[in-house]
C-alpha cells in the first residue's frame, strides 16, 4: 500500500485530506511524492514561521538534540529558561508556562483564570471563536455546531457577539471572572476585531475586576506584523496563550502571565510531561531571534502587497486580516479555489467560507507573487 492507502486504513478518520503526500520542502516550496513542486501559502496552519527545512533553525534544534532532548520538568534546562526570558523581555509579561499545543496553552489560561478568582466561575468568549479541541477549549469555542456530540460539556462559559460591546455588557453578571478572545478570529473567517471594541472590553474587564485573556495561538509569533497582535491594540492582557508558529514547526505552546496572574499557579497545580521540551525551546529561541524589527516590517509590507494585488479583482468580495494572516471573501466557493490552486501547485487554506493565506513570514516576494498570480487565475 502507498502512504495514502496506509493512512486511510490505519489513521483515525478525523481528517478529510487532499490527495497529496508531501515528501520534502525548502523555504516556501514543497514537493510531493511524484516530484511535483508547490508554493506553500499555508505554512502548515501558520506553523512553519521560517518556511520548511530552514538550515540555521534545523541546526539549532539538532545541536540541542545532541546535547539533551528531554529531562522532564523536575529539572532546569537552559533553552526553556532562556525562551521564557526572551518572551517576557519582548512582551513585558512576567512568567511563562510551556505546553505542547494551542489547546493546552488555552487550558492553562482557563485553569489560571478559575484559580485566580475563586467563587466566580464564568468565562465569556466570543461567538465564532476557536480555542481548541479538548473538552474545555471546545466548550470555550463559540461555535455550537462543534459542541454537538460531546455532551456533557463543562459549565462556566458564556458567549457574546464579537464587536458588540453592549451584548458583552448585557451578559456580564457577578459570576463572570474573565473575557477570552482572539484578536483576529482565525478559523471562523479571519475576522479582525475593532480596536475600539477590544479596548472597551479591556476597560470593562478592569472595571469589573475580571481578567483579559487573549488567544494568540494563531495571531502570535510575528504573524500579524508585530511579535504579538495585542501589541497593536493598545491593551495590556492578563494572560496570553500562543503555539502554532512559536517553535517554527515543532510542537510548543506557551501561556504568558502578566504580573496580575504571574503567581496564581503554585507548585503542583499544573504541569506537563513534554511541555517546554529543550529541542522545541531551542527551535523557538531561534525563531524569536529571527523575528526582528526588519522581518516584522517585512510581514507588514508583504501583507500590504497581497492586499494590493487582490483588491479590485472581480472574483474578490473582500479582504480581511492583519499582516500575513489574510482572509479573502470570494465569489467562487473557497474550497473549489483551494482545490484548483493545489492542482496548479499552490497550497492555500480555507477559513469557513473564505480563502485563507498564512505564508511563511520570510517567503521571498517573488514566490509570493507567483502564488498570487496563480490564485488570481482561479478566483
Ligand X SMILES: *Cc1c(COP(=O)(O)O)cnc(C)c1O
Which residues touch 80 (CB under 8 Å, ≥6 apart)?
Answer: 98, 276, 278, 281
Which residue among 186, 237, 276, 278 contacts ligand X (CB under 6 A)? 186
- Angle, alpha carbons 369-348-107 (nearest 5°): 125
- Among all residues, whose Cβ is closest to ligand X? 102
Closer to ligand X by CB, 124 or 243: give it: 243
Cell numbers of 286, please?
Answer: 531561534
Work out whether 182 is an interface residue with ligand X (CB under 6 A). yes
How many angstroms separate the Cα of 167 from the Cα of each of 123, 126, 164, 192, 379?
A: 15, 10, 5, 18, 36
Q: Which of 48, 91, 99, 101 binds ligand X (CB under 6 A)?
A: 101
Instruction: Map residues 243-272 to x or -, x wherever contact with ligand X holds by CB under 6 A.
Output: xx----------------------------
Nearest residue (CB) to ligand X, 102 versus 283: 102
Stretch that binds ligand X, among 62-70, 215-223, 225-233, 254-262 (CB under 6 A): 215-223
Binding status of residue 132 toward ligand X by CB under 6 A: yes
- Smallest separation, CB 318 to ligand X (Å): 21
Contact between 103 and ligand X by CB under 6 A: the answer reads: yes
**Whole-number minimum distance, CB 70 to ligand X, in Å?**
20
Q: Per CB under 6 A, does 47 bind ligand X?
A: no
Give me the least distance between CB of 133 and ligand X, in Å please.
6
Minimum CB separation from ligand X for residue 130, in Å? 5
> In terms of CB distance, is 103 or 285 closer to ligand X?
103
Report the residue from 112, 218, 221, 330 that binds ligand X according to the rule CB under 6 A. Answer: 218
Shortest distance, position 257 Cβ to ligand X, whole Å: 18
217 scored as a contact of ligand X (CB under 6 A): yes
Give the torsion through C-alpha atoms of 325, 32, 25, 352, to 10 deg.
10
131 binds ligand X (CB under 6 A): yes
Using alpha carbons, list the distances in angstroms from residue 54 to 57, 61, 215: 5, 11, 27
CA pair distance 277, 271, nearest whole angstrom? 13
The residues binding ligand X (CB under 6 A) are 101-103, 106, 130-132, 182, 186-187, 215, 217-218, 243-244
Amino acid at each position: 500500500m502507498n502512504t495514502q492507502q496506509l493512512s486511510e486504513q490505519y489513521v483515525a478518520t478525523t481528517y478529510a485530506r487532499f490527495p497529496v503526500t508531501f515528501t520534502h520542502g525548502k523555504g516556501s516550496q514543497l514537493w510531493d511524492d511524484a516530484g511535483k513542486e508547490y508554493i506553500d501559502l499555508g505554512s502548515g496552519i501558520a506553523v512553519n514561521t521560517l518556511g520548511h527545512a530552514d538550515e540555521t533553525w534545523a541546526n539549532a534544534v539538532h545541536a540541542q538534540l545532541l546535547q539533551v532532548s528531554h529531562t522532564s520538568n523536575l529539572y532546569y534546562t537552559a533553552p526553556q529558561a532562556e525562551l521564557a526570558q526572551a518572551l517576557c523581555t519582548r512582551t513585558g509579561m512576567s512568567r511563562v508556562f510551556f505546553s505542547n499545543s494551542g489547546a493546552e496553552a488555552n487550558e492553562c489560561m482557563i485553569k489560571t483564570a478559575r484559580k485566580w478568582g475563586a467563587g466566580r466561575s464564568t468565562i465569556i468568549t466570543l461567538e465564532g471563536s476557536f480555542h481548541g479541541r479538548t473538552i474545555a477549549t471546545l466548550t470555550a469555542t463559540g461555535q455550537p455546531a462543534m459542541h454537538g456530540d460531546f455532551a456533557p460539556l463543562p459549565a462556566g462559559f458564556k458567549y457574546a457577539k464579537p464587536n458588540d460591546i453592549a451584548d458583552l455588557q448585557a451578559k456580564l453578571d457577578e459570576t463572570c471572572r474573565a473575557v477570552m478572545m482572539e484578536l483576529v478570529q482565525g478559523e471562523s473567517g479571519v475576522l479582525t476585531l475593532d480596536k475600539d471594541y477590544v479596548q472597551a472590553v479591556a476597560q470593562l474587564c478592569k472595571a469589573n475586576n475580571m481578567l483579559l485573556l487573549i488567544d494568540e495561538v494563531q495571531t502570535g509569533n510575528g504573524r500579524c506584523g508585530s511579535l504579538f497582535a495585542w501589541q497593536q491594540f493598545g491593551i495590556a492582557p492578563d494572560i496570553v496563550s500562543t503555539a502554532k508558529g512559536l517553535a517554527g514547526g515543532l510542537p510548543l505552546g506557551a501561556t504568558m502571565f502578566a504580573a496580575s496572574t504571574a503567581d496564581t499557579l503554585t507548585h503542583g497545580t499544573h504541569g506537563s510531561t513534554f511541555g517546554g521540551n529543550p529541542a522545541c525551546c531551542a527551535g523557538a529561541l531561534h525563531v524569536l531571534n529571527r523575528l526582528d524589527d526588519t522581518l516584522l516590517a517585512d510581514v507588514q509590507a508583504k501583507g500590504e502587497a497581497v492586499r494590493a494585488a487582490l483588491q479590485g479583482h472581480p472574483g474578490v468580495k473582500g479582504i480581511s486580516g492583519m499582516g500575513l494572516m489574510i482572509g479573502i471573501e470570494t465569489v467562487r466557493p473557497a474550497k473549489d479555489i483551494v482545490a484548483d490552486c493545489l492542482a496548479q501547485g499552490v497550497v492555500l487554506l480555507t477559513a469557513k467560507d473564505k480563502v485563507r493565506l498564512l505564508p511563511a513570514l520570510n517567503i521571498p516576494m517573488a514566490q509570493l507573487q507567483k502564488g498570487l498570480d496563480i490564485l488570481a487565475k482561479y478566483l
